[in-house]
A and B are shown apart, each in its own frame.
Chain A
Amino acid sequence: MNIELTDLTRRFGRNQAVAGVTLEAGPGVFGLLGPNGAGKTSLLRMLATVIPPTSGRMLLLGRDPRSYERRREIRRRLGYLPQNLGYYPSFTVVEFVEYFALLKDMPPGRVPVAVAAAVERVDLGGKARAKLRTLSGGMLRRVGIAQAIVNDPELLLLDEPTAGLDPEQRVRFRALLRDLGQHATVVVSTHLVEDVGAACTEVALMDAGRIVFHGTPAELTARGAADGAGDSPLERGYTATLASARMTGTRS
């Protein structure tokens, strides 16, 4: 298992962002769904070793990130796309991806070809030498994805990766996700239920810091009633599961 979480919590002052998450995930595409403030981003940031958990146990790629050396080993094999990734406007696409490839401690000799492959995979070959300040929001998001996959990560964490992508790019991106998920654990946090349906092999639904559902997209779909709220079967499953979890939470 590339991700093993046991009773993981994270607090920010009085706010409990993640409340006792227990989860295991191996290779494949893992969708993380949930409303705003559910704790998805905080969970992803802990998985990215950006913030430590307040309590609980976390093993990533079989290593405990509390030790600096183990954390460094994890980070070498990690790809991360934050929700609000800013860009250095004076860098070109290649310079930006190359800079982060070097910060991931990739062997310098491998970097140019890895950068070229990542830039081509997100279909930005034609803009490789363009300054980031000249690119559209969707293109910048693809630059972010390129830096995340440049080291061919075994654990890839993507927070709202399709935000700003046009429909054609989203379709291509889902194909890329399926491809990456064949050998890596890809965790995708998203609001877009259709992304999960099209690309994910497993899905977890978070609400109020807890995982209220964990299964396959088909199992989530099966929870929805035909006349429930939502435009697609998966959306109906999502809203029904969320409503049921909130009802249980209110009762308890």
Chain B
Amino acid sequence: MSGPDALPDPAPDLVPDPAPDLGRVWLGVVAQVWRREPGRLERLAARLLRSPALARALLTTPSLLVPWLIATVVVLGVGAGVSLGTGQPMVALLAPAVTAAAIAYAYGPAVDPAWELSCSMAVSDRMVLLVRVLAVFAVNAGLGLLASAVSGEAASVTFGWLVPMTAMCALALAVATLARSAIAGAMAGMTGWMITVLSVRVTSGQFSAALTRTALVLPYLAITVACTAVAVFASRIPTGGSG
């Protein structure tokens, strides 16, 4: 175009360099192509937990296969123990400690491949652990409800252990979110569970009998020591690497 109607060429110094904009446009495009839109459940969890990171941790917990299997086996095993030990309040009281220690182990440094990296993140690793405990109980409670339709034993484990513990974990997470402290949440959950267990036993007159039977002291002590050992192992700080 060189006729009289042709637009004059812009001054070279006014022509923007297209390369940086093209780069930015390209990133915008690939970001849209690659992004995974969060589902409804994740958006709801993000709103309730006030953290998209915790919501993502909640939803991805079952996909970490080995930790998930370890945690699920322990949760169901302890649940079976709780339903067999009906009438022994100490069994019910120690059960959450055993389970929490096992889940901390499963999603801790010994099994979780990215644990060390998680420890350097702004979102507290303890909050992530609380979220994972809730995910383990909630999914197993859902499966337990389905199994309850065909099995009385499954119903006993589901309604005597999985559903109440899911509620306690939800309570713990709610308190932790409000108080911005995972420890405060865990304390609230444990307190809620203790009140529930003890109030049921006190009304049926079994509480003092179970606490005063000397034959049970040794097993209780052994379980407490085992829980403490697992918790210490799960939260230990490994030594430096080869460097």
* Chain A residues at the B interface, C-beta cutoff of 8 Å: 10, 12, 15, 17, 32, 34, 36-42, 44-45, 48-51, 72, 75-76, 78, 80, 82-91, 94-95, 98-100, 102-105, 108, 112-113, 115-117, 119-120, 125, 128-129, 147, 159-160, 189, 191
The distance from the CB of A207 to the nearest CB of chain B, in whole angstroms, is: 11
A15-B239, A84-B241 are contacts. A105–B116 as well, Cβ < 8 Å? no
A38-B243, A45-B240, A112-B32 are contacts. A88–B121 as well, Cβ < 8 Å? no
**7 A-B residue pairings within 8 Å (CB atoms):** A32-B243, A48-B120, A90-B63, A94-B34, A103-B53, A103-B57, A104-B121
Contacts of B65 in A (CB 8 A): 89-90
A48-B120, A83-B243, A98-B36 are contacts. A112–B63 as well, Cβ < 8 Å? no
The answer to whether B116 and A50 have CB atoms under 8 Å apart is yes
Contacts of A91 in B (CB 8 A): 60, 63
Interface size class of B (residues with CB under 8 A): 35 or more
A80-B117, A95-B36 are contacts. A104–B122 as well, Cβ < 8 Å? yes
Contacts of B243 in A (CB 8 A): 32, 34, 36-42, 44, 83, 159-160, 189, 191
The answer to whether B112 and A116 have CB atoms under 8 Å apart is no
A94-B34, A113-B31, A116-B34 are contacts. A41–B241 as well, Cβ < 8 Å? yes
- B185-243 contacts to A, CB under 8 A, are 237, 239-243
- B178 is an interface residue with CB less than 8 A from chain A: no
Docked complex Cα distance between A86 and B27 (Å): 27
A41-B243, A113-B31, A116-B30 are contacts. A85–B116 as well, Cβ < 8 Å? yes
Number of A-B contacts (CB under 8 A): 132
The answer to whether A120 and B27 have CB atoms under 8 Å apart is yes
Contacts of A159 in B (CB 8 A): 241, 243
The distance from the CB of B180 to the nearest CB of chain A, in whole angstroms, is: 10
Contacts of B242 in A (CB 8 A): 36-37, 41, 83
Contacts of B128 in A (CB 8 A): 103
* Chain B residues at the A interface, C-beta cutoff of 8 Å: 27-28, 30-32, 34-36, 46, 52-53, 56-57, 60, 63-65, 112-123, 128, 237, 239-243
Other-chain residue from B32, B52, B113 in contact with A88 (beta carbon distance below 8 A): B113
The answer to whether B240 and A103 have CB atoms under 8 Å apart is no
Docked complex Cα distance between A104 and B112 (Å): 18
The chain B residue with its CB closest to the CB of A36 is B242
Docked complex Cα distance between A174 and B177 (Å): 42
The chain A residue with its CB closest to the CB of B113 is A86
Contacts of A116 in B (CB 8 A): 27-28, 30-31, 34
Contacts of B116 in A (CB 8 A): 45, 50, 82, 84-85
A94-B36, A105-B53, A115-B34 are contacts. A147–B239 as well, Cβ < 8 Å? no
The distance from the CB of A193 to the nearest CB of chain B, in whole angstroms, is: 14
Other-chain residue from A12, A38, A50, A85 in contact with B239 (beta carbon distance below 8 A): A12
